[in-house]
Chain A
Amino acid sequence: MRDFLGRSLGNSKLLDDDDIFKVGGATSLFAMELVLFIEKQFGIALEDDDLERANFATVDALTALVDRKLTP
């Protein structure tokens, strides 16, 4: 996750609790790419309730989201 974000945003210094929309340079286009990445990389389907900014804002939040979705 960290690798994808760092590569896509061109920000290798992104910390796990950095807000990617505030300091990372993420845009709405990137939010869409992020949804695509998560669904394909982890084989999960994100539902409407998952598409909250809070779930996407940081590496930590994204990891927690994926963990939740992968846990049966």
Chain B
Amino acid sequence: MRIELNARHKKLQARFCEFAAEHVAPRAEEIDRQQELPRELADTIARAGYLGSHLPREHGGRGLDMVGYGLLHEEIGKACSNTCALLTVHDMVAEVVFKLGGGALREICLPKLTAGTCLGAFALTEPEAGSDAGSIKTTAIETADGYVLNGRKKWISFGQLADLFLVVARAGEDGPPIGFLVGRDTPGLTVTPIKGMLGLRGSMLAELQFDNCEVSADCRLGSVRMPAGLLIATALHLGRYGVAWACVAIGEACVRESFRYAGERFQFGKPLEQHQLVRRMLTDMLTDVRAARLLCFQAGYLRDADDTRAVQATLVAKYFASRMANRVASDAVQIHGALGVSGQKPVERHFRDARIMEIIEGSTEIQQLTIAKYGLVEYRGSEPEERP
């Protein structure tokens, strides 16, 4: 067993790194400060072939395997977590269209999604339905011509920028969740920006209001006959993977900044790196990031092998990596002292961005419940019945 990138992956990684350094890193601070990711940056990313990059070439993607896909997320994410988030969110829409959309929908939408002429956003969360996605209230009532959507979605990443929303709504008043592709300009849809988030400030969140919003039946993804929640699970399975790598990116960026600063900053007559307690922090940070990266590689490898264990591996990777990002970013701020909380160093932004990672794409607590269930089945043979 060799745990090492092959030549192709190393070449891809170098290319991604070069792209991020040229096009993304110089904009990261501005994106965070302005709370806006410029459309022309999204266009640049699209022209490079980095939107829907995991999709097969015949559908406009680059056919990146999951390890390569992860490396793309890490290199972009090291430069800017917001730009990385764009890849994650947009690709979740592309993934669902690819896996669950009908032939016609794939043919129409995938070329636009991969070319970036259409940016996607995933609209699941509601004011009263976050972790409890099963309790969404937005409804899709069938009519002679299609469906009518009513309801509200909130905290929708890139809702301010997206051209196309994958909206998860309940079929009928009380049916299972199904998906709809809804264009930004659809009558009955109102998009309201959300500003002032703690982290991932450039992810341009929005609230969506659907008031008798009519959509054609052709825009439906999935069906009421599908296993309930399969559409949501399909989207989040990819999103979680992207977020796990985004966390590795934050961790790695923090480690690099911290090792550099520890060599430059002198206290008590010597650089910070020669103080033992700082060394301990640096060691923990470095080890933590590498452990997270290995979990991500394992998830990627299992995904590429179409192994059913990929689902659990992705949960574990996201869970560990998101907590790691917070630990490492916190230590990075600590090492930087007053500079770390001043906004003059990127670690301050990484610290705020890391905080979001434990909430999105399945909160830490949801991961803990879900992963424990896998463990109970694996180590105890079954999940014990819950006692009242």
Task: Answer whether A and B are interacting partners.
Answer: yes
Alpha-carbon distance A12/B376, docked complex (angstroms): 14
B247 contacts the other chain (CB 8 A): no
B380 contacts which chain A residues (CB < 8 A)? Answer: 10
Report the minimal beta-carbon distance from A10 to chain B, rounded to whole angstroms.
Answer: 3
User: How would residues 21 to 39 of chain A score, 1 for a CB under 8 Å from any chain B CB and 0 otherwise?
Assistant: 1000101110111011101
The answer to whether B383 touches A53 (Cβ under 8 A) is no
B229 contacts which chain A residues (CB < 8 A)? Answer: 27-28, 31
Alpha-carbon distance A28/B227, docked complex (angstroms): 7
Q: Give the bracket for the number of chain B residues in contact with chain A.
A: 20 to 34
B306 contacts the other chain (CB 8 A): yes
Alpha-carbon distance A40/B303, docked complex (angstroms): 12
In the complex formed, the residue of B with least CB distance to A30 is: B311
A interface, by DSSP: helix, strand, loop or mixed? helix
User: How would residues 203 to 229 of chain B score, 1 for a CB under 8 Å from any chain A CB and 0 otherwise?
Assistant: 000000000000000000011011111
B232 contacts which chain A residues (CB < 8 A)? Answer: 28
Alpha-carbon distance A8/B308, docked complex (angstroms): 10
Report the minimal beta-carbon distance from B218 to chain A, rounded to whole angstroms.
Answer: 13
B237 contacts the other chain (CB 8 A): yes
The answer to whether A53 touches B226 (Cβ under 8 A) is yes
In the complex formed, the residue of A with least CB distance to B100 is: A48
| Chain A, 25-69, CB within 8 A of any chain B CB | 25, 27-29, 31-33, 35-37, 39-40, 48, 51-54, 56
B233 contacts the other chain (CB 8 A): yes
Report the minimal beta-carbon distance from B4 to chain A, rounded to whole angstroms.
Answer: 25
A32 contacts which chain B residues (CB < 8 A)? Answer: 230, 233-234, 237, 311
The answer to whether B227 touches A51 (Cβ under 8 A) is yes
| Chain B, 292-326, CB within 8 A of any chain A CB | 306-308, 310-311
A9 contacts the other chain (CB 8 A): yes
Contact of A52 among B223, B234, B308, B377 (CB under 8 A): B223
Q: A10-B382, A36-B306 are in contact. Are A21 and B102 (CB under 8 A)?
A: no
Q: Give the bracket for the number of chain A residues in contact with chain B.
A: 20 to 34
Alpha-carbon distance A53/B226, docked complex (angstroms): 5
The answer to whether B383 touches A25 (Cβ under 8 A) is yes
B234 contacts which chain A residues (CB < 8 A)? Answer: 32
The answer to whether A51 touches B310 (Cβ under 8 A) is no
A51 contacts which chain B residues (CB < 8 A)? Answer: 100, 222-223, 226-227, 230
Alpha-carbon distance A36/B227, docked complex (angstroms): 14
Report the minimal beta-carbon distance from B365 to chain A, rounded to whole angstroms.
Answer: 16
Alpha-carbon distance A43/B307, docked complex (angstroms): 13
User: How would residues 352 to 388 of chain B score, 1 for a CB under 8 Å from any chain A CB and 0 otherwise?
Assistant: 0000000000000000001000001100111100000
Alpha-carbon distance A31/B222, docked complex (angstroms): 14
Q: Which of B100, B222, B223, B230 has the most CB of A within 10 A?
A: B230
| Chain B, 42-77, CB within 8 A of any chain A CB | none
B377 contacts which chain A residues (CB < 8 A)? Answer: 8-10
In the complex formed, the residue of A with least CB distance to B227 is: A31
B225 contacts which chain A residues (CB < 8 A)? Answer: 52-54
Report the minimal beta-carbon distance from B350 to chain A, rounded to whole angstroms.
Answer: 30
A8 contacts which chain B residues (CB < 8 A)? Answer: 308, 377
Report the minimal beta-carbon distance from A51 to chain B, rounded to whole angstroms.
Answer: 5
Give me 17 A-to-B residue pairs in the complex whose CB atoms sit less than 8 angstroms apart, sorted by A's number. A10-B376, A11-B382, A28-B227, A28-B228, A28-B233, A29-B311, A31-B229, A32-B230, A35-B230, A36-B306, A36-B310, A36-B311, A48-B223, A52-B225, A52-B226, A53-B227, A56-B227
Given A36-B306, A37-B308, A53-B228, 13 extra CB contacts under 8 A: A11-B382, A21-B227, A28-B227, A28-B228, A29-B233, A29-B370, A31-B227, A32-B234, A33-B308, A40-B306, A48-B223, A52-B225, A52-B226
Residues of B within 8 A of A (CB): 100-102, 222-223, 225-230, 232-234, 237, 306-308, 310-311, 370, 376-377, 380-383
* Top 3 closest pairs, chain A to chain B, by CB: A28-B229, A10-B382, A10-B377
